[in-house]
A = this chain, B = another copy of it.
Amino acid sequence: MMIEIERKFLVTSEAFKKEAFSEKRIKQGYLSSVPERTVRVRTKGDRGFLTIKGASNESGLSRFEWEKEITVEEAENLLLLCEKGTIDKTRFEVKVHGHVYEIDVFYGENKGLIMAEIELLSETQAFEKPSWLGQEVTGDKRYYNSYLSCNPYIHW
Contact = CB atoms under 8 A, between A and B. Distances in A.
Q: How many copies does the complex hold?
A: 2
A78 interface: yes
A47 interface: no
Interface stretch (A11-19, A30-38, A143-151): A30-38
A80 B78 CA distance: 23
19 contacts: A31-B31, A31-B37, A31-B52, A32-B34, A32-B39, A37-B82, A37-B83, A39-B39, A50-B50, A52-B78, A52-B81, A54-B80, A54-B81, A64-B80, A66-B74, A66-B77, A66-B78, A68-B68, A68-B70
A144 to B, nearest CB: 20
Interface string A32-67: 101011010000000000101010000000001010
Residue with the greatest number of chain B CB neighbours at <10 A, chosen from A37, A64, A70: A37
A117 to B, nearest CB: 27
A74 B64 CA distance: 12
